[in-house]
Structures are given as C-alpha cells and as structure tokens.
Amino acid sequence: MQTALVAVENLFLYNMSNYTENDLAKDLENQEYKFGFVTDIETETVPKGLNEEIIRLISTKKNEPEWLLTYRLKAFEIWKTMQEPEWAHVAYTKPDFQDIAYYAAPKQTKKYESWDDVDPELKETMSKLGISMEEQQRLTGVAVDFVMDSVSVATSFKAKLKELGIIFCSFSDAVQEYPELVQKYMGTVVPNTDNFYAALNSAVFTDGSFCYIPKGVRCPMELSTYFRINAGGTGQFERTLVVADEDAYVSYLEGCTAPQRDENQLHAAVVELIALKDAEIKYSTVQNWYPGDKNGKGGVFNFVTKRGLCEDRAKISWTQVETGSAVTWKYPSCILKGDHSIGEFYSVAVTNNMQQADTGTKMIHLGKNTKSTIISKGISAGKSQNSYRGLVQIHKGADNARNFSQCDSLLMTDVCGAHTFPYIECKNPSAKIEHEATTSKIGEDQLFYCMQRGISEEKAISLIVNGYCKEVLNQLPMEFAVEAQKLLAISLEGSVG
C-alpha cells in the first residue's frame, strides 16, 4: 500500500495528460545517454596490446610485490589457453584484445592531502556524475572511493573508518599497505582459472577497491565506489575485494558510468566478497555504462564476474539495477558454504534500443540449512534482448536447503525479446526449490482496473511499472536510492514519474 502511495505522489509532479504506453515506448527510444561526456584530463596510458611485457609494465608502474606479478602472469598463461564463452544469449563482435590499452591513469597520480587539492576538472566530472563529494560528505555521510580510468583518485571518511579498524582504500593501496590481507583472500572466490574474463582481469587489472571490516564491527556508513571509463580505447579492469570478518556488517555501493564513444569499450571486472562467520555483506550496484546509440553503435561490453562466499550463518545480498551497457554478461553469485548461510539476489535489468543483457545469479548450496532468494525483474524496450540466466544448485550435503526464485519479464514493444534460462539442480531429498517465471506486457485488465478508478492511463502505467520494480528498488539503501533515480536515466520509473 505504501509503495503505491509513493508512486502516486510522484506522478503528480508530471503533467502528461495523454501519455500512453506507446508514448512511453517512444520516450524510452529517444532518451539519450545523460552521462556521455568526456573529461579532458591528461591520462597516462601504456601502448595498446596484451603480452607479458605489458603485464610486467603495469605491475612495475604500480610497484607491486613479486607474488602479485606471478599471479598476473599465471592468469595470463591460463587466459591464453581459454576460449571466449559463447553460451550467452547475446550477439556482438568480439573485442580485439590486442587493440586495447590496458592501463590508463589520470596523470596527476600524487596523493591528495585534502579534498581541496583535487584537480577541479576531476571535481567537475564527479559533480556531473551527481556525486559531488562535498555534497556527499556533508549531506549523506557516504564514503566514496572514486575510480576513474583504473586509478582510485580520492577517498573520503578514511579517518573515521580507520578508528573502527575498517580498511577502505583503493586496491593498489591495499597491495602496498595490507599485502598479507590481499594475498590471503584475493582469488579465493574467483580463482584466476575461473573463466575467460576473470582470467583476463586477473592478468591485467589496474585498480579497484579493497574493503576489510574487522571482527564484530558494524560499518556505520555505506561504502561507495564509482567507476567511470574515460579515455578512449581503454578497458576497465577493476578488482574489488570485500572481506567482512566474523560478525561484521557492511553495505557496499557501486555505481558505473562511461562517456559516449563510437567504439565499444570493454569492461571486465572481478568482484569478490567474503563473509566470514556471522558476517553480512550487502552489495548494491547501479550500472549505467554507456549503452550505445539508438542503432547499437558503441557502448560498453560489461563482462563481469561477481561472486561471494558465505561461511556459517553469514549472509550476502546482491542488489543490482542494470540499465546501461551495450552487452551485459553478469551473474553475481553466492557460494553458501557455511551452515545456515543466506544468499539473496535482487535485480532490475532494463534494456532499450539495441541493448543485450544476459544476467542472473548462481546460488550454490553446500552447507546445511542454507537459504537463497532470487527476485529478478526484466524490462525490455526498443529492439533489445533481455535474458535471465540462473543456476540453483543443491549439493548432496546441503540438508534442508531452501530456494525461492521469481523471474518476471515485461515486454514494452513487439520487437524486443525476454528470455528465461534457469538451471535447477538438486541432489538432496530434503531440499525445497521453487522457481517461477512469467512474461507478459502490462496487463490490459490491470490498466482497465486503474483507469476505471479514475487514474489516467499514463499514471496507471507508471503505477504498475513502479509496483513491478519496487520489490527490488526497495532493497537499495536510502542514500543510494536518490542516486539511483538520477542514474536510471532510461529507467521506466524516471521516464514516467
């Protein structure tokens, strides 16, 4: 009921008296990418191409210890033997891995003593992204780690976090300052042999974020990272590692944008979450990479490996709002290793024009009494293709495992596609697994019901779509919800009210 009220309130902000479903579809088609600007900052890039030399160069530039270089080179060896996966329901021209510059750092790599030292142009970029740090610091209390073209340029609230023993820094800093932690956990959830893109990332990753919450600490604020691909011809290979020690709690936010370019940009990230006993990690993503233009030219290839490991009684919750990227290939997963551990996945994926998304989750139940919930909402508009692909796997020892999955798809035009490919594998007789999926357009009966009660068509559409997504959007932290509204430029909620 509350959801509906909020939605109706929003509606009155807009005056669209003859707005129909067709107009909505048209609006979606015409919506241009809001974040398609290039920041003119001098960047330092290495020559294009991928070989052992480049990897050594990246490693040297980042002043990395020997073990990390070995890790990279090993990953590169493995990657060379691997085939690019083709099973996803997407069609695209494969990137030329020799035509990518694997390192692009803003040239001013010196550390900033205070916020005032930061290059004004960078600040400008941030405020265009709607994440002005001053504003954030003052108003929201969100600590932001901003990754632009691979190097983390500023972090805030470090001091306050440090008091609690929380480590929140760029991945490169973590390698320098906490090498033992990084070495201990890196690659334990996503090994460098995992898949083609994870191996590539392991070989050439440039930066990312590292977060460690010590035993029993509840992180008092939402930790946030922004990724942005700026320079042309560069891929973003960032690496995120979040470790919540026993009984710790953290809520982590990630937002992504990219400037508008004609060529496709590759983004192959690896995110690893480790929730030790009784810990809880909430990981939220708003992904708004440049989706390409109306004809499918340009846009980001988003090939991401995200996975979390739950020890006893731990909980990992993934929430994602996917609106951008030309091609998305992403399955945030949970390995429920510990007894009584919980995995959750909430997703809204919106595709428009020529976008293609193949996204979902994997819930691997290993421990006893493990639980998982999957709520996935897909919205296809334009000529896009939107697929849910998921795996629920109950292993032999996972007594009393419980899974509930719901995957709904909404079709906005008659030339788009919505697909569901769930894999359900059960090897334990005490497990209970439920999966349901529906595909439809906005029901005429629902519209009629609303309109019969005096709600105009456009408001009714918005109300229904709002209600359709709210289950997932409600999972986003409050601080991020506002942000998400802005970033979801092409989302239905933004378009309709």
Partner 1 sequence: MNAITDSKLSEFCSQFSPSNIQGLQTLQSDAAAYLSKEVFPTTRNERFKYTRLQKLLNANFSPIETLSYEQISKYSIIKDVPTICVNGPQIFIPQQLISSVTISSIAESTLAFQSETYKDVFGAMNTLYASNGCSITINDNTTLNQPIQIIYLHSGGAHFYRNQLKFGKNAEAQIVLAHFSISNSIGFSHTHTQIEVGQDARIKLHKIQCCEEGHFDFNEERIFQDKQSNFEINTISLKGSFIRNDLSAQIQGEYAETRLNGAYLLNAQQHVANYTTIDHQVPNCESFETYKGLIDDHATAVFNGKVFVRQDAQKTNAFQSNANILLSENGSVNSKPELEIYADDVKCSHGSTTGQLDENALFYLKARGLSTKAAKSLLLQAFMDDVLQVFQPEQLHTFIFKVIATRFNWQIED
Binding site for partner 1 (CB under 8 A): 87, 394, 396, 409, 411-441
Q: How far is the CB of 400 from partner 1 (least distance, A)?
A: 10
DSSP sequence for 311-348: -TT-EEEEEEEE---SEEEE--EEEE-STT-EEEEEEE
| CB atoms closer than 10 angstroms to residue 123 | 16
Nearer to partner 1, 306 or 389 (CB): 389
CA 353 to chain centre: 21
| DSSP SS3 for 92 | coil
Task: State both tokens at 304.
Answer: 């991401």
Q: Where are the beta strands (DSSP E) in 331-416?
A: 333-336, 342-351, 356-359, 362-365, 371-380, 385-394, 402-411
Q: How far is the CB of 384 from partner 1 (least distance, A)?
A: 11
Among 430, 433, 432, 410, smallest CA distance to 420 is for 410
Nearer to partner 1, 135 or 436 (CB): 436
Nearer to partner 1, 192 or 409 (CB): 409
CA 336 to chain centre: 20
Nearer to partner 1, 123 or 435 (CB): 435
Q: How far is the CB of 340 from partner 1 (least distance, A)?
A: 20
Query: Please, are residues 388 and 417 in contact by the beta-carbon 8 Å criterion?
Result: no
Q: What is the DSSP letter of 231?
A: S
Q: How far is the CB of 85 from partner 1 (least distance, A)?
A: 12
Q: How far is the CB of 429 from partner 1 (least distance, A)?
A: 4
CA-CA distance, 240 to 270, in Å (whole number)? 6
CA-CA distance, 182 to 184, in Å (whole number)? 5
Nearer to partner 1, 50 or 394 (CB): 394
Nearer to partner 1, 174 or 407 (CB): 407
CA-CA distance, 300 to 243, in Å (whole number)? 28
**Rg of the chain, C-alpha, whole Å:** 22
Q: How far is the CB of 369 from partner 1 (least distance, A)?
A: 15
Which residues lie closer than 8 Å to 269 by C-beta, 6 or more apart? 201, 208, 227, 236, 237, 238, 239, 240, 304, 305, 306
Nearer to partner 1, 120 or 429 (CB): 429
The owner of tokens 């460098």 is 192
Nearer to partner 1, 270 or 461 (CB): 461
Nearer to partner 1, 418 or 463 (CB): 418
Query: Please, are residues 294 and 353 in contact by the beta-carbon 8 Å criterion?
Result: yes
Q: How far is the CB of 455 from partner 1 (least distance, A)?
A: 22
Q: How far is the CB of 424 from partner 1 (least distance, A)?
A: 4
* 3-state DSSP percent of the chain in helix, strand and coil, to 5: 30, 35, 40
Q: How far is the CB of 181 from partner 1 (least distance, A)?
A: 37
Cα torsion for 293, 296, 301, 303, to the nearest 10°? 120
Q: How far is the CB of 53 from partner 1 (least distance, A)?
A: 34
Termini Cα distance of the chain: 18
Nearer to partner 1, 317 or 403 (CB): 403
Q: How far is the CB of 444 from partner 1 (least distance, A)?
A: 9
Task: State both tokens at 245.
Answer: 């020690």
Nearer to partner 1, 69 or 82 (CB): 82
